[in-house]
Amino acid sequence: MRVNSWNGWDPLRHVLVGRADGTMVQAPEPAVQRDFPADGFPLGTYGPMPEEMTAAANEQLDAFAVQLAARGVQVSRPTPIDFSQPVSTPDWEHPTGFGCMPPRDVLITVGNEILEATMCYRSRWFEYLCYRPVLQELFEADPDMRWEAAPKPRLTDASFVPGFWNEYQTLSKAEQLARVAEHDLVLTEEEPLFDAADIARFGVDLFVQLSLVTNRKGVDWLRRHFPDHRVHEVTFTNTHPLHIDATWVPLRPGLVLHNGERPADPELVKYFEVNDWQVVEAVQPASWKHHPRLSFCSPWLAVNILNLDPRTVCVEAEEVRLAEQLDGLGMEVVPVPFRAVGPFGGGLHCATVDIWREGGLEDYFPNRCGRF
Ligand code: ABU
């Protein structure tokens, strides 16, 4: 076993796949409020995800793990804790935890380092514990592994804008987008906050999205933590920015998939273009039975795909149009039934963490451009 991964496309050798066991619709908290009346969780209510949904999600997660193993990829799994317990620190108490699907939000591998993100949901404060058995095993097996954790945040009320959600939902789309552009959202700059899934890895370049779960201080912390990388703060035109991996998706060197419903900063597009990258707009996603918003995701989980190597990509089985598009771009598509996992917090990328991909650190962006 070894820890090594610099980007999202090199040949995959070892991966972590999440579990849906015990997932909760968490109690309302300053960073997030979940409101899914059609699925039995109107605002203010919380509790375990319905048993049949959990079982169906676990069935698909387990089958994906088997499918990866059959392709020669080693698979590790987290150890769920009891997410129905209250979570408390000396500063606050929260009635519930959340789950350990999706692991991509919590962990990121950069080279031989696995970094535990700060997170900003109180319900997710102890989620890292689910991954500690795997991290301990890796630490013992690979003498070069660097095991790091970003500073645990206090998450007192000072970390959140009071009354944000009540106000934000009264704004027009244009007003919301103006707030996103100014990064005037729910998080204050009290302390560094980021989710690992807001980071897209392209070798030396790390693109970090400012979002509902990542603040400027979080990006600054990452910049200081990875001095040998170019860490870029990026935003997209999206009223609910949450993780970059359904918005700006690396496919292989020279090719990035873009969710055109969330237009990218023109300077970011230019930076890719002057470095001979092709930016391709993804086709529209297929429809959903259980709206993935149950998990605070959008139907754009379609593009939340997992590369097995630069020419092979796992795509959710119902996303036929996307599979055809990727086929046309020279990718071999591996269809994976994963619809039942969406409401638990993500697609194939969210549900996994790269532990080992072949390859080393490379600079894919030799040309500077604008602020990049
Ligand atoms: N990591 C999940 C992203 C979900 C979304 O953008 O809709």
Count, in order, helices (H) and strands (E) of the chain. 7, 19
Distance (Å, whole) CA 37 – CA 319: 26
Q: Is the pTM of this model over 0.85?
A: yes
Residue 293: per-residue pLDDT: 74
Alpha helices for 104-245 (secondary structure H): 132-141, 164-168, 173-181, 216-225
Question: What whole-number distance in Å separates Cα of residue 278 and Cα of residue 227?
Answer: 27
Over the chain, what is the mean pLDDT? 97
Q: Ligand 1 mean position to 267 CA, how many Å?
A: 23
- pLDDT for 296: 84
Which residue out of 229, 243, 258, 349 is catalytically annotated? 243
Known active-site residue 350: yes
Does residue 258 surpass a pLDDT of 80? yes
pLDDT digits (tens, 9 = 90+) for 163-190: 999 999 999 999 999 999 999 999 999 9
Decide if 94 is catalytic: no
Task: Tell me the backbone φ, ψ of residue 74, rounded to 5 degrees.
Answer: -70, 140
What was the pLDDT predicted at 294? 83
Compute φ and ψ for 287, nearest 5 degrees: -85, 165
DSSP letter for 275, please: T
pLDDT 10s digits, 102-139: 999 999 999 999 999 999 999 999 999 999 999 999 99
Residue 241 CA to ligand 1 centre (angstroms): 8
* For ligand 1, atom 6: residue with the closest CA: 246
DSSP string, 132-173: HHHHHHHHHH-TT-EEEEPPPP---GGGB-TTHHHHHTTS-H
Ligand 1 pocket, CB under 6 A? 197, 242-243, 245-246, 297-298, 300-301, 304, 346, 350
Ligand 1 mean position to 144 CA, how many Å? Answer: 32
DSSP H/E element including 326 = helix 320-328
242 contacts 213 by C-beta, under 8 angstroms: yes
Phi-psi region of 331 (alpha: psi -120 to 50; beta: other; left: phi over 0): beta
CA distance 332 to 345: 26
**Whether the Cβ atoms of residue 257 and residue 347 lie closer than 8 Å to each other:** no
Q: For residue 354, list its beta bridge partners.
A: 15
**Residue of 198, 213, 304 with the most ligand 1 atoms within 8 Å of its CB, for mutation:** 304
Summarize the confidence of residues 213-236 as an average pLDDT.
98
Catalytic one of 105, 195, 198, 354: 195
pLDDT tier, 289 (very low <50, low <70, confident <90, very high otherwise): confident
Query: Would you call 91 a catalytic residue per the annotation?
Result: no
Pick the atom of ligand 1 nearest to 102's CA: 1
- pLDDT tens profile 46-98: 999 999 999 999 999 999 999 999 999 999 999 999 999 999 999 999 999 99
For the chain, domains (ranges, CATH) are: 12-357 (3.75.10.10)
